[in-house]
Structure formats: C-alpha cells, structure tokens
Amino acid sequence: LNQLADARRFRINSMYASIQPFLWFVLLFGATVTISFSFLFGTKNTKGHLIMIALLSSAIGLALLLIYSFDHPFRGIIRVDPNSFIVALQQLT
C-alpha cells in the first residue's frame, strides 16, 4: 500500500513538473540554427533544396512536438487517460 501511495504521489508531482524555460530556449535556438544552416547548402536544383529544407523543418517540428507532448503527459495529443487507472482500481478491489 505504501508503494501504491508513493507511485500516486510521484504521478501527481510529475504532472506539475515541466521542462525548464532555458531548455526550451536551447531547443528552439538549436532548431533555428539548424534550419538556417541548411540554407547555406546551395544546390543547382532549387526545388529539391526547398523540399529538403521543408522535410528537415518538419522533422525538427515533430521532434519538438513530441518533447512538448511528453512534457505534459495528462493533457494534449498523447495523454494518459483515467480509464487505465479505473481498470487497475477495479482489479485491485
């Protein structure tokens, strides 16, 4: 019972913990520098170059979205529903 209470406390504390603003700044600055640096790789095919930059920007954007989703586990796109906790409670009783 103590382990269950500790796990519950840990989940509640995790809900309020988040990535520090400085780390978000570093992530966004790194993404900006990476995308800006990709403009320096000139190619003869402009259309292909723009497609490569768009794909790189999409990959970085999706990675940042994934980080944001994991930072907020109980809301947003990827969230932990209370249904699994209800099923676990029913199995314990």
- pLDDT confidence of 58, banded at 50, 70, 90? very high
How far apart, in whole angstroms, are the C-alpha atoms of residue 23 and residue 26? 5
pLDDT at 62: 95
pLDDT of residue 14 exceeding 80, the answer is no
How far apart, in whole angstroms, are the C-alpha atoms of residue 55 and residue 62? 10
Tell me if 27 sits within 8 A of 64, measured CB to CB: yes
89 CB-side CA count, 13 A: 6
How far apart, in whole angstroms, are the C-alpha atoms of residue 78 and residue 62? 13
